[in-house]
Protein backbone atom coordinates (compact mmCIF):
# COMPACT_ATOMS: atom_id res chain seq x y z
CA UNK A 1 0.00 0.00 0.00
CA UNK A 2 2.96 2.33 0.54
CA UNK A 3 3.52 2.64 -3.20
CA UNK A 4 -0.07 3.77 -3.76
CA UNK A 5 0.15 6.32 -0.96
CA UNK A 6 3.37 7.68 -2.43
CA UNK A 7 1.73 7.91 -5.87
CA UNK A 8 -1.30 9.69 -4.36
CA UNK A 9 0.92 12.30 -2.71
CA UNK A 10 2.81 12.86 -5.96
CA UNK A 11 -0.48 13.35 -7.80
CA UNK A 12 -1.63 15.84 -5.18
CA UNK A 13 1.59 17.80 -5.65
CA UNK A 14 0.88 17.94 -9.40
CA UNK A 15 -2.64 19.22 -8.72
CA UNK A 16 -1.38 21.98 -6.43
CA UNK A 17 1.31 22.92 -8.93
CA UNK A 18 -1.45 23.34 -11.51
CA UNK A 19 -3.11 25.99 -9.37
CA UNK A 20 -5.52 24.13 -7.09
CA UNK A 21 -6.04 25.81 -3.70
CA UNK A 22 -7.22 22.58 -2.05
CA UNK A 23 -7.29 18.99 -3.25
CA UNK A 24 -8.96 15.75 -2.20
CA UNK A 25 -7.65 12.82 -4.17
CA UNK A 26 -8.24 9.06 -4.29
CA UNK A 27 -6.14 6.54 -6.18
CA UNK A 28 -7.49 3.02 -6.68
CA UNK A 29 -6.79 -0.20 -8.52
CA UNK A 30 -8.76 -3.43 -8.61
CA UNK A 31 -9.00 -6.80 -10.29
CA UNK A 32 -12.11 -8.95 -10.48
CA UNK A 33 -13.08 -12.20 -12.20
CA UNK A 34 -16.60 -13.47 -12.93
CA UNK A 35 -17.20 -16.99 -14.24
CA UNK A 36 -20.72 -17.82 -15.43
CA UNK A 37 -21.80 -21.39 -16.09
CA UNK A 38 -25.04 -22.45 -17.76
CA UNK A 39 -26.43 -25.93 -18.39
CA UNK A 40 -23.17 -27.81 -18.24
CA UNK A 41 -20.86 -25.37 -19.98
CA UNK A 42 -19.02 -22.11 -19.44
CA UNK A 43 -21.13 -19.22 -20.69
CA UNK A 44 -18.85 -16.30 -19.92
CA UNK A 45 -15.57 -15.49 -18.22
CA UNK A 46 -14.87 -11.84 -17.57
CA UNK A 47 -11.76 -10.38 -16.00
CA UNK A 48 -11.74 -6.69 -15.16
CA UNK A 49 -8.63 -4.79 -14.16
CA UNK A 50 -9.11 -1.14 -13.34
CA UNK A 51 -7.05 1.77 -12.11
CA UNK A 52 -8.33 5.26 -11.60
CA UNK A 53 -7.68 8.59 -9.96
CA UNK A 54 -10.59 10.66 -8.66
CA UNK A 55 -10.10 14.18 -7.46
CA UNK A 56 -11.99 17.12 -6.03
CA UNK A 57 -10.49 20.48 -6.94
CA UNK A 58 -11.09 23.76 -5.08
CA UNK A 59 -10.05 27.01 -6.78
CA UNK A 60 -11.06 30.55 -5.75
CA UNK A 61 -14.19 29.33 -3.98
CA UNK A 62 -15.13 27.10 -6.89
CA UNK A 63 -15.35 23.32 -6.93
CA UNK A 64 -15.23 20.45 -9.41
CA UNK A 65 -14.88 16.66 -9.32
CA UNK A 66 -13.31 14.62 -12.08
CA UNK A 67 -11.51 11.33 -12.69
CA UNK A 68 -9.10 9.66 -15.07
CA UNK A 69 -7.69 6.21 -15.73
CA UNK A 70 -4.53 7.46 -17.43
CA UNK A 71 -1.98 7.69 -14.62
CA UNK A 72 1.13 8.50 -16.64
CA UNK A 73 2.87 11.59 -15.22
CA UNK A 74 2.50 13.64 -18.42
CA UNK A 75 -1.15 12.67 -18.72
CA UNK A 76 -1.78 13.64 -15.09
CA UNK A 77 -0.19 17.05 -15.60
CA UNK A 78 -2.58 17.71 -18.48
CA UNK A 79 -5.50 16.29 -16.52
CA UNK A 80 -4.94 18.56 -13.51
CA UNK A 81 -4.22 21.61 -15.66
CA UNK A 82 -7.50 21.10 -17.52
CA UNK A 83 -9.39 20.40 -14.29
CA UNK A 84 -8.16 23.59 -12.64
CA UNK A 85 -8.96 25.74 -15.68
CA UNK A 86 -12.43 24.20 -15.93
CA UNK A 87 -13.05 24.82 -12.23
CA UNK A 88 -12.22 28.50 -12.63
CA UNK A 89 -15.13 28.81 -15.07
CA UNK A 90 -17.73 27.54 -12.61
CA UNK A 91 -19.91 29.59 -10.30
CA UNK A 92 -18.52 30.09 -6.77
CA UNK A 93 -19.98 27.89 -4.03
CA UNK A 94 -19.24 29.28 -0.54
CA UNK A 95 -20.12 25.94 1.06
CA UNK A 96 -17.42 23.99 -0.75
CA UNK A 97 -14.06 23.43 0.93
CA UNK A 98 -12.18 20.66 2.66
CA UNK A 99 -13.36 19.75 6.18
CA UNK A 100 -11.88 20.99 9.42
CA UNK A 101 -8.79 18.77 9.89
CA UNK A 102 -9.76 18.19 13.53
CA UNK A 103 -12.60 15.99 12.28
CA UNK A 104 -10.06 13.58 10.81
CA UNK A 105 -8.80 12.76 14.30
CA UNK A 106 -9.89 9.94 16.57
CA UNK A 107 -9.67 7.14 14.03
CA UNK A 108 -10.29 3.77 15.73
CA UNK A 109 -7.33 1.46 16.21
CA UNK A 110 -8.90 -1.77 14.95
CA UNK A 111 -8.00 -4.32 12.30
CA UNK A 112 -11.16 -4.57 10.20
CA UNK A 113 -9.84 -7.64 8.32
CA UNK A 114 -11.18 -6.58 4.95
CA UNK A 115 -8.66 -8.44 2.75
CA UNK A 116 -8.45 -12.22 2.49
CA UNK A 117 -4.88 -13.32 1.78
CA UNK A 118 -6.18 -16.53 0.20
CA UNK A 119 -7.38 -14.49 -2.77
CA UNK A 120 -4.02 -15.06 -4.42
CA UNK A 121 -4.86 -18.77 -4.61
CA UNK A 122 -7.85 -18.24 -6.91
CA UNK A 123 -7.55 -19.76 -10.37
CA UNK A 124 -9.74 -20.60 -13.35
CA UNK A 125 -9.92 -24.31 -12.60
CA UNK A 126 -11.15 -23.68 -9.09
CA UNK A 127 -13.81 -21.22 -10.21
CA UNK A 128 -15.04 -23.63 -12.87
CA UNK A 129 -15.19 -26.49 -10.40
CA UNK A 130 -17.35 -24.44 -8.01
CA UNK A 131 -19.78 -23.44 -10.77
CA UNK A 132 -20.05 -27.00 -12.01
CA UNK A 133 -20.59 -28.33 -8.50
CA UNK A 134 -23.29 -25.75 -7.84
CA UNK A 135 -25.24 -26.90 -10.89
CA UNK A 136 -24.88 -30.55 -9.92
CA UNK A 137 -26.09 -29.84 -6.39
CA UNK A 138 -29.03 -27.82 -7.67
CA UNK A 139 -30.21 -30.51 -10.07
CA UNK A 140 -29.99 -33.17 -7.34
CA UNK A 141 -33.41 -33.42 -5.75
CA UNK A 142 -35.00 -31.41 -8.58
CA UNK A 143 -36.35 -34.35 -10.58
CA UNK A 144 -39.91 -33.08 -10.04
CA UNK A 145 -39.12 -29.60 -11.36
CA UNK A 146 -39.77 -28.66 -15.01
CA UNK A 147 -36.34 -27.10 -15.36
CA UNK A 148 -35.70 -24.87 -18.35
CA UNK A 149 -32.19 -23.77 -17.44
CA UNK A 150 -29.68 -23.66 -14.60
CA UNK A 151 -27.10 -20.89 -14.30
CA UNK A 152 -24.39 -20.52 -11.68
CA UNK A 153 -21.78 -17.84 -11.08
CA UNK A 154 -18.71 -17.40 -8.91
CA UNK A 155 -16.89 -14.10 -8.59
CA UNK A 156 -13.94 -12.70 -6.68
CA UNK A 157 -12.19 -9.36 -6.55
CA UNK A 158 -9.41 -7.51 -4.81
CA UNK A 159 -8.92 -3.78 -4.58
CA UNK A 160 -6.50 -1.26 -3.08
CA UNK A 161 -6.98 2.46 -2.56
CA UNK A 162 -5.14 5.44 -1.13
CA UNK A 163 -6.73 8.78 -0.31
CA UNK A 164 -5.13 12.11 0.58
CA UNK A 165 -6.36 15.64 1.27
CA UNK A 166 -4.14 18.67 0.95
CA UNK A 167 -4.99 19.69 4.55
CA UNK A 168 -3.69 16.55 6.19
CA UNK A 169 -5.99 13.56 5.71
CA UNK A 170 -4.51 10.33 4.43
CA UNK A 171 -5.73 6.75 4.51
CA UNK A 172 -5.13 3.52 2.63
CA UNK A 173 -6.98 0.23 2.59
CA UNK A 174 -7.30 -3.07 0.77
CA UNK A 175 -10.33 -5.28 0.43
CA UNK A 176 -11.49 -8.52 -1.13
CA UNK A 177 -14.89 -9.95 -1.97
CA UNK A 178 -16.20 -13.37 -2.95
CA UNK A 179 -19.60 -14.45 -4.17
CA UNK A 180 -21.39 -17.54 -5.43
CA UNK A 181 -24.89 -17.71 -6.85
CA UNK A 182 -27.29 -20.14 -8.49
CA UNK A 183 -30.42 -19.54 -10.53
CA UNK A 184 -32.89 -22.09 -11.88
CA UNK A 185 -35.61 -21.22 -14.39
CA UNK A 186 -38.66 -23.48 -14.47
CA UNK A 187 -41.70 -23.74 -16.75
CA UNK A 188 -45.10 -23.23 -15.17
CA UNK A 189 -48.32 -24.73 -16.57
CA UNK A 190 -49.50 -21.31 -17.74
CA UNK A 191 -46.30 -20.73 -19.71
CA UNK A 192 -44.63 -18.42 -17.20
CA UNK A 193 -40.98 -19.03 -16.42
CA UNK A 194 -40.39 -18.21 -12.75
CA UNK A 195 -36.84 -18.19 -11.42
CA UNK A 196 -35.46 -19.35 -8.12
CA UNK A 197 -32.27 -17.60 -7.09
CA UNK A 198 -29.88 -17.59 -4.14
CA UNK A 199 -26.43 -16.18 -3.47
CA UNK A 200 -23.74 -15.68 -0.86
CA UNK A 201 -21.42 -12.65 -0.70
CA UNK A 202 -18.60 -12.11 1.81
CA UNK A 203 -15.21 -10.51 2.37
CA UNK A 204 -13.49 -13.85 3.06
CA UNK A 205 -13.99 -16.96 0.98
CA UNK A 206 -14.13 -19.19 4.04
CA UNK A 207 -17.17 -17.24 5.27
CA UNK A 208 -19.31 -17.99 2.20
CA UNK A 209 -22.40 -20.10 2.76
CA UNK A 210 -21.98 -23.74 1.68
CA UNK A 211 -22.67 -24.47 -1.98
CA UNK A 212 -25.25 -27.06 -0.84
CA UNK A 213 -27.20 -24.31 0.93
CA UNK A 214 -27.14 -21.99 -2.10
CA UNK A 215 -28.30 -24.77 -4.44
CA UNK A 216 -31.06 -25.99 -2.12
CA UNK A 217 -32.41 -22.49 -1.54
CA UNK A 218 -32.50 -21.68 -5.28
CA UNK A 219 -34.30 -24.96 -5.95
CA UNK A 220 -36.82 -24.39 -3.16
CA UNK A 221 -37.55 -20.83 -4.30
CA UNK A 222 -38.26 -22.00 -7.85
CA UNK A 223 -40.54 -24.79 -6.63
CA UNK A 224 -42.41 -22.36 -4.37
CA UNK A 225 -43.37 -20.16 -7.36
CA UNK A 226 -45.10 -22.79 -9.45
CA UNK A 227 -48.83 -22.26 -9.75
CA UNK A 228 -48.78 -18.73 -8.33
CA UNK A 229 -52.06 -16.82 -8.11
CA UNK A 230 -53.00 -13.26 -7.26
CA UNK A 231 -53.57 -12.19 -3.69
CA UNK A 232 -57.04 -11.04 -2.72
CA UNK A 233 -57.06 -7.30 -2.03
CA UNK A 234 -57.11 -6.50 1.68
CA UNK A 235 -55.06 -5.81 4.79
CA UNK A 236 -52.79 -8.57 6.02
CA UNK A 237 -50.19 -9.45 8.56
CA UNK A 238 -47.07 -9.84 6.46
CA UNK A 239 -43.78 -11.57 7.18
CA UNK A 240 -40.96 -9.99 5.18
CA UNK A 241 -37.93 -12.18 4.50
CA UNK A 242 -34.63 -10.65 5.61
CA UNK A 243 -33.25 -10.06 2.12
CA UNK A 244 -36.41 -8.16 1.12
CA UNK A 245 -36.40 -5.88 4.20
CA UNK A 246 -33.79 -3.38 2.83
CA UNK A 247 -36.24 -2.16 0.18
CA UNK A 248 -38.68 -1.06 2.86
CA UNK A 249 -35.85 0.16 5.09
CA UNK A 250 -34.40 2.38 2.36
CA UNK A 251 -37.73 4.18 2.10
CA UNK A 252 -37.66 4.81 5.86
CA UNK A 253 -34.06 6.06 6.02
CA UNK A 254 -33.84 7.91 2.70
CA UNK A 255 -35.51 11.05 4.10
CA UNK A 256 -32.87 11.44 6.86
CA UNK A 257 -30.15 12.23 4.32
CA UNK A 258 -28.64 15.68 3.99
CA UNK A 259 -29.90 16.32 0.45
CA UNK A 260 -33.49 15.38 1.34
CA UNK A 261 -33.46 17.57 4.44
CA UNK A 262 -31.75 20.58 2.88
CA UNK A 263 -34.02 20.48 -0.16
CA UNK A 264 -37.14 20.16 2.01
CA UNK A 265 -38.00 16.75 0.58
CA UNK A 266 -38.11 14.88 3.88
CA UNK A 267 -41.12 13.97 5.97
CA UNK A 268 -38.67 13.51 8.89
CA UNK A 269 -37.61 17.17 8.87
CA UNK A 270 -37.80 18.47 12.44
CA UNK A 271 -38.48 14.99 13.80
CA UNK A 272 -35.09 14.30 15.39
CA UNK A 273 -35.78 12.86 18.85
CA UNK A 274 -39.32 11.83 17.91
CA UNK A 275 -40.69 8.32 17.75
CA UNK A 276 -41.16 7.50 14.06
CA UNK A 277 -41.47 3.69 14.15
CA UNK A 278 -42.54 0.88 16.42
CA UNK A 279 -40.50 0.86 19.66
CA UNK A 280 -39.32 -2.60 18.63
CA UNK A 281 -36.98 -1.05 16.07
CA UNK A 282 -33.41 -0.26 17.14
CA UNK A 283 -30.70 0.12 14.49
CA UNK A 284 -27.09 1.22 14.99
CA UNK A 285 -24.54 2.06 12.35
CA UNK A 286 -21.50 -0.15 13.00
CA UNK A 287 -18.55 0.88 10.81
CA UNK A 288 -16.03 -1.26 12.71
CA UNK A 289 -17.54 -4.70 12.16
CA UNK A 290 -14.66 -7.10 11.54
CA UNK A 291 -14.91 -8.49 8.00
CA UNK A 292 -17.96 -6.29 7.48
CA UNK A 293 -19.11 -5.72 3.92
CA UNK A 294 -19.11 -1.95 4.36
CA UNK A 295 -16.70 -1.43 7.26
CA UNK A 296 -14.46 1.64 7.26
CA UNK A 297 -12.34 3.69 9.66
CA UNK A 298 -13.32 6.92 7.87
CA UNK A 299 -16.32 8.19 5.93
CA UNK A 300 -16.75 10.00 2.63
CA UNK A 301 -15.49 13.27 4.10
CA UNK A 302 -12.52 11.64 5.83
CA UNK A 303 -14.14 11.91 9.28
CA UNK A 304 -13.23 9.20 11.77
CA UNK A 305 -16.15 6.76 12.03
CA UNK A 306 -17.77 5.52 15.19
CA UNK A 307 -20.69 3.37 16.25
CA UNK A 308 -23.84 5.46 16.51
CA UNK A 309 -27.60 4.95 16.89
CA UNK A 310 -29.84 5.72 13.93
CA UNK A 311 -33.15 4.60 15.41
CA UNK A 312 -33.38 3.59 19.06
CA UNK A 313 -36.60 2.05 20.40
CA UNK A 314 -38.39 3.70 17.48
CA UNK A 315 -36.89 7.15 18.15
CA UNK A 316 -34.96 8.91 15.38
CA UNK A 317 -31.52 9.60 16.86
CA UNK A 318 -29.51 11.10 14.00
CA UNK A 319 -29.66 12.60 10.55
CA UNK A 320 -27.13 11.58 7.90
CA UNK A 321 -25.61 14.93 6.97
CA UNK A 322 -22.21 15.25 5.37
CA UNK A 323 -19.94 18.29 5.49
CA UNK A 324 -21.31 20.01 2.38
CA UNK A 325 -24.98 19.85 3.33
CA UNK A 326 -24.21 20.70 6.95
CA UNK A 327 -22.61 23.93 5.76
CA UNK A 328 -25.57 24.71 3.54
CA UNK A 329 -27.89 24.14 6.50
CA UNK A 330 -25.70 26.00 8.99
CA UNK A 331 -25.29 23.03 11.34
CA UNK A 332 -22.58 20.60 12.41
CA UNK A 333 -22.08 17.54 10.19
CA UNK A 334 -23.21 14.20 11.58
CA UNK A 335 -21.65 12.03 8.85
CA UNK A 336 -23.43 11.27 5.62
CA UNK A 337 -22.59 7.57 5.32
CA UNK A 338 -23.95 4.40 6.83
CA UNK A 339 -21.84 1.29 6.97
CA UNK A 340 -22.99 -2.00 8.50
CA UNK A 341 -26.37 -1.84 10.24
CA UNK A 342 -26.63 -3.57 13.60
CA UNK A 343 -30.19 -4.41 14.64
CA UNK A 344 -31.61 -5.37 18.01
CA UNK A 345 -32.91 -8.80 17.04
CA UNK A 346 -35.91 -10.81 18.12
CA UNK A 347 -35.84 -14.36 19.43
CA UNK A 348 -37.54 -16.30 16.62
CA UNK A 349 -36.40 -17.73 13.34
CA UNK A 350 -38.20 -16.99 10.09
CA UNK A 351 -40.20 -20.18 10.59
CA UNK A 352 -41.12 -18.95 14.06
CA UNK A 353 -42.40 -15.64 12.70
CA UNK A 354 -44.52 -17.46 10.12
CA UNK A 355 -45.94 -19.87 12.69
CA UNK A 356 -47.33 -16.91 14.68
CA UNK A 357 -49.50 -15.78 11.75
CA UNK A 358 -52.93 -17.37 11.36
CA UNK A 359 -53.74 -15.67 8.05
CA UNK A 360 -51.28 -13.47 6.18
CA UNK A 361 -48.70 -13.20 3.43
CA UNK A 362 -45.01 -14.09 3.35
CA UNK A 363 -43.10 -11.71 1.05
CA UNK A 364 -39.68 -12.82 -0.16
CA UNK A 365 -39.07 -10.29 -2.94
CA UNK A 366 -40.07 -6.88 -4.22
CA UNK A 367 -40.60 -6.32 -7.93
CA UNK A 368 -40.08 -2.62 -8.52
CA UNK A 369 -42.09 0.32 -7.29
CA UNK A 370 -41.47 3.71 -5.73
CA UNK A 371 -41.70 5.74 -2.55
CA UNK A 372 -42.02 9.47 -1.89
CA UNK A 373 -39.64 10.83 0.75
CA UNK A 374 -41.75 13.97 1.20
CA UNK A 375 -45.19 12.42 1.71
CA UNK A 376 -44.23 8.92 2.85
CA UNK A 377 -46.39 7.27 0.23
CA UNK A 378 -45.10 3.94 -1.03
CA UNK A 379 -46.15 1.45 -3.70
CA UNK A 380 -44.12 -1.70 -4.30
CA UNK A 381 -44.73 -4.79 -6.39
CA UNK A 382 -44.11 -7.95 -4.39
CA UNK A 383 -44.47 -11.72 -4.42
CA UNK A 384 -44.27 -14.65 -2.02
CA UNK A 385 -46.71 -17.11 -0.45
CA UNK A 386 -49.89 -17.06 1.55
CA UNK A 387 -49.69 -17.99 5.22
CA UNK A 388 -52.52 -20.16 6.54
CA UNK A 389 -52.69 -21.42 10.10
CA UNK A 390 -49.03 -20.63 10.68
CA UNK A 391 -47.74 -22.45 7.61
CA UNK A 392 -46.64 -21.36 4.15
CA UNK A 393 -49.30 -22.15 1.56
CA UNK A 394 -49.88 -21.37 -2.12
CA UNK A 395 -47.61 -18.93 -3.96
CA UNK A 396 -48.80 -15.44 -4.89
CA UNK A 397 -47.38 -13.07 -7.48
CA UNK A 398 -48.09 -9.66 -8.96
CA UNK A 399 -49.21 -8.27 -5.60
CA UNK A 400 -48.81 -4.62 -4.66
CA UNK A 401 -47.92 -3.29 -1.22
CA UNK A 402 -49.07 0.28 -0.65
CA UNK A 403 -49.55 2.84 2.08
CA UNK A 404 -47.35 5.15 4.14
CA UNK A 405 -43.92 3.70 4.93
CA UNK A 406 -43.77 5.48 8.28
CA UNK A 407 -47.06 3.91 9.32
CA UNK A 408 -45.94 0.49 8.06
CA UNK A 409 -42.87 0.67 10.31
CA UNK A 410 -45.13 1.72 13.18
CA UNK A 411 -46.96 -1.57 12.55
CA UNK A 412 -43.81 -3.64 13.06
CA UNK A 413 -44.84 -6.38 15.50
CA UNK A 414 -41.84 -8.72 15.61
CA UNK A 415 -38.27 -9.08 14.40
CA UNK A 416 -36.51 -12.33 13.66
CA UNK A 417 -33.15 -13.57 14.89
CA UNK A 418 -31.80 -14.06 11.35
CA UNK A 419 -29.74 -11.04 10.21
CA UNK A 420 -28.73 -11.37 6.58
CA UNK A 421 -24.93 -11.84 6.47
CA UNK A 422 -24.85 -11.25 2.71
CA UNK A 423 -25.81 -7.59 2.99
CA UNK A 424 -24.42 -4.63 4.91
CA UNK A 425 -28.01 -3.86 5.95
CA UNK A 426 -27.83 -6.82 8.35
CA UNK A 427 -31.62 -6.95 8.30
CA UNK A 428 -33.54 -9.75 10.00
CA UNK A 429 -36.91 -11.00 8.81
CA UNK A 430 -39.72 -8.78 10.10
CA UNK A 431 -43.45 -9.11 10.72
CA UNK A 432 -45.88 -6.22 10.22
CA UNK A 433 -49.60 -6.01 10.94
CA UNK A 434 -52.44 -4.49 8.92
CA UNK A 435 -50.53 -3.88 5.67
CA UNK A 436 -52.48 -3.12 2.51
CA UNK A 437 -51.96 -5.57 -0.36
CA UNK A 438 -53.80 -5.66 -3.65
CA UNK A 439 -53.90 -8.20 -6.42
**CA dist 319 → 96, 98, 103, 334, 355 (Å):** 20, 21, 17, 7, 36
Q: What is the CA radius of gyration of the chain?
A: 24
Tell me the β-bridge partners of 370.
379
* Whole-number pLDDT of residue 11: 96
Closest CA to 226 of 284, 185, 261: 185
What pTM, to 2 d.p., does this model score?
0.93
* Whole-number pLDDT of residue 398: 85
DSSP 348: B
Closest CA to 422 of 120, 217, 195: 217
**What is the DSSP secondary-structure string of 226-243?**
TT-BPPPSEEEEEEE-TT
Return the half-sphere exposure (C-beta side, CA atoms, 13 A cut-off) of residue 426.
19
Please say whether the beta carbons of 320 and 338 come within 8 A. Answer: yes
Helical (H) or strand (E) element with 402: strand 391-404
Query: What's the CA angle centered on 32, arms 303 and 298, to 5 degrees?
Result: 5
Q: Calculate helix-pair angle for 2-17, 73-88, nearest 10 degrees.
A: 50
Instruction: List, in order, residues 6 or more apart from 191 with CB less than 8 Å away.
Output: none
Per-residue pLDDT of the chain (439 residues; tens, 9 = 90+): 689 999 999 999 999 999 999 999 999 999 999 999 999 999 999 999 999 999 999 999 999 999 999 999 999 999 999 999 999 999 999 999 999 999 999 999 999 999 999 999 999 999 999 999 999 999 998 988 999 999 999 999 999 999 999 999 999 999 999 999 999 999 998 889 999 999 999 999 999 999 999 999 999 999 999 999 999 999 999 999 999 999 999 999 999 999 999 999 999 999 999 999 999 999 999 999 999 999 999 999 999 999 999 999 999 999 999 999 999 999 999 999 999 999 999 999 999 999 999 999 999 999 989 999 999 999 999 999 999 999 999 999 989 999 999 999 999 999 999 999 999 999 999 999 999 999 8
Instruction: List, in order, residues 6 or more apart from 355 with CB less than 8 Å away.
Output: 390, 391
* Whole-number pLDDT of residue 16: 97
Amino acid sequence: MSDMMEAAHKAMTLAQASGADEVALSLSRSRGVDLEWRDGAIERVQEQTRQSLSTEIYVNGRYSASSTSDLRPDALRSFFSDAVEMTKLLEPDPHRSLPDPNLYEGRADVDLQLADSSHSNQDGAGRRAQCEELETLLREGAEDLPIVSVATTVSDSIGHSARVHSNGFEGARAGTSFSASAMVTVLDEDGRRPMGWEYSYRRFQEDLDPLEWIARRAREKARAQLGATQVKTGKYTIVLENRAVPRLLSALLGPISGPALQQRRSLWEGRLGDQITSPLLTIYDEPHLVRGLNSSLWDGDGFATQRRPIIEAGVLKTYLIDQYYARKMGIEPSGGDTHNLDWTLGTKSLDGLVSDVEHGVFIDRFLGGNSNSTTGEISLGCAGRMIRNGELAEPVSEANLSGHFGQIWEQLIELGNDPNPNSSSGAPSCAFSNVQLSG
